[in-house]
Amino acid sequence: MALTASEVARLGELARIRLTEAEVAQLAPQLDVILQAVASVSEVVGEDIPPTSHALDLTNVFRADVVTPSLPPEAVLAAAPAVEDGRFRVPRILGEQQ
């Protein structure tokens, strides 16, 4: 099933990418090749093959979460450029209002 120009243009809109007519014409056959490749993979899959997210089994490589002593708040805040009410004072961002 070949992608139409309107389908490629719609995909561009969904991705918030402004495409010219020439770009749509160029991308349509390229995206069609990708879709055919994905479809060929689904032909190989049988009911005896379980779905997986990775080719190899993954194991957790994180260390155990162990509580350890930390610095006192006064020592941490002593290195801060600005402090307010026992906390780091940071500049306001994204036009937030108090």
Task: Evaluate whether residue 95 is within a structural domain.
Answer: no
Spatial distance between the Cα atoms of 49 and 44, rounded to a whole number of angstroms: 10
Q: Is the pTM of this model over 0.85?
A: no
In a domain? residue 37: yes
pLDDT > 90? residue 96: no
Q: Is the pLDDT of residue 82 over 60?
A: yes
30 in a domain, yes or no? yes
pLDDT in tens, 37-77: 988 877 777 777 777 777 788 787 888 889 999 999 999 99
Q: Is residue 93 part of a domain?
A: no
12, part of any domain:
yes
> Buried (b) or exposed (e) across 30-55, using 16+ Cβ within 10 A?
eeeeeeeeeeeeeeeeeeeeeeeeee
Domain count of the chain?
Answer: 1
CA distance 14 to 43: 28
Residue 11 resides in a domain: yes
Instruction: For residue 19, give its domain range.
Output: 5-44
5-14, pLDDT tens digit by residue? 999 999 999 9
